[in-house]
Amino acid sequence: MSAIRQQDFIDSIADALQFISYYHPEDYVQSLAAAYRREESPAAKDAMAQILTNSRMCALGKRPICQDTGIVVAFVRVGMEVRWEGVSMSIAEMVNAGVRQAYLDPDNVLRASIVADPAGRRKNTGDNTPAVVHFDIVPGNRIEVDVAAKGGGSENKSRFAMLNPSDDIVEWVVSQLPGMGAGWCPPGQLGIGIGGTAEKAMLLAKEALMQPIDMTELKARGARNRLEELRIEIYDRVNALGIGAQGLGGLTTVLDVKILDYPTHAASKPIALIPNCAATRHVHFMLDGSGVAQFVPPRIEDYPDVHWQPAQDARRVDLGRVTRADIAQWQPGETLLLSGKLLTGRDAAHKRIVDLLAKGEKLPVDVDFNGRFIYYVGPVDPVRDEVVGPAGPTTATRMDKFTETMLAQTGLIGMIGKAERGKVGLEAIKKHAAVYLMAIGGAAYLVSKAIRSAKVVAFADLGMEAIYEFDVQDMPVTVAVDTQGRSVHEIGPAEWKKRIGMIPLTQV
């Protein structure tokens, strides 16, 4: 019988969360590196280079891969022969104590993203608790834990359906991807759950994402059962869509497809789809009474020899002098390097701004958007000599509902975010001859190195959603939507879907 100390469990959860905040799983890095080597789309290849460079930087600097340090999900399996020592908490309470310890660690502070009263005040809990905990009692004398930090951008793209027994699973999955857009930060993985009941299918899909990437090996040896056949077929069909890295168009949209199933009712065919993003973060550990879990970091020399640098022909932009005439010359897909001051703001700040304008009230004194750009970001707090922590973009479509008001009433001329814009956002951008620029999701630490100063200028009570003023130097972005409303997220995937259609799937 193993004796597990409560504090060993808490410390192991905390150490695991710190570990996955700055170390990608090795299988993800190697799989992405292989996709980078075979990618033919310049835009997608550049995006992958930023993600791989960011991954190495985070491993060296021990800072978060992504500014969205996720909602914690833990699968805990407790052996029936385990004996607890010094226990005063439930398993969920112990997990939450570990989350609190990890996210408030002063050496690598992680962003608190969890809000309580989700249908009401949505107040940030301040320490990223509570986690979502699933546990089971199993035979054995040890505890096994799978822990993940799941970003909101990918979680928001989850899908579920109750199919008819005769419906085609592959067709349903493939039909969902275009509507998911790029807000889930491809290239990543798809977790699929089939069977059981509605809640069981969703749980299976989430648990499937904890499995290692092995699609290359699977395709080399061939499928041995129906689920493996489904994995290969979905992988090939999804990549043939041409969505590509960050939705820019390219050969690789998914690195793997993982499926778990469970017996279901004869009248039912529940199916759940949950994507994992470029900031894939999960780890497995075991406790047997010998102490705190140990985590072995990857060797830096095993990282691919990829070191992103901006293209020599990138257009340099002075944010203090840029005009509407200037932005009218920018083309979809063009690389820009931004220097100067820009304001930030995401969901909560936009809601507050729009409410103030609706009442005829003035914006805070330091919030002047006239002729300026806004960056959709909620950064990590700085540590040591940083001016700001990792500060990558958040999903831009969530701001679409506010875009018409922002462009019509504030003098704003441009926005920076992640992934595509929706129909409402595109219409507003075209109407007001504004532009939308895209930064790479999954490259938050790399982006933060372009920020020379940062200060909160309004709505400090919103925490990470406050309005900051950043002073940036050579911040890399791509023109995603030009003043005519043309979107690289429509042009790129359409072009690459056509190109891939002329390539045998076995070569993609």
pLDDT per position as a tens digit, 326-357: 999 999 999 999 999 999 999 999 999 999 99
pLDDT for 91 equals 97
Q: By the 8 A CB rule, do 496 and 252 touch?
A: no
193-220: average pLDDT: 98
DSSP 462: G
pLDDT for 276 equals 96
pLDDT for 311 equals 86
Max distance between CA atoms of the chain, in angstroms, equals: 74
Give the confidence band of 504 by pLDDT, cuts at 50, 70, 90.
low
What is the rounded CA–CA span in Å between residue 277 and residue 279? 5
Percent of the chain scoring above 70 in pLDDT = 99
For 398-451, the pLDDT digits (tens) are 999 999 999 999 999 999 999 999 999 999 999 999 999 999 999 999 999 999
Q: By the 8 A CB rule, do 5 and 85 touch?
A: yes
Q: Does 503 score more than 70 pLDDT?
A: no
Question: Mean pLDDT of all residues in the chain?
Answer: 96
Q: Does 239 score more than 90 pLDDT?
A: yes
Give the confidence band of 501 by pLDDT, cuts at 50, 70, 90.
confident
26-45: average pLDDT: 97
Measured from the Cβ of residue 21, the count of other Cβ atoms closer than 10 Å reads 27
341-379 burial code (b ≥16 CB/10 A, e <16)? ebbbbbbbbbebbbeebeeeeebeeebebeebbbbbbbb
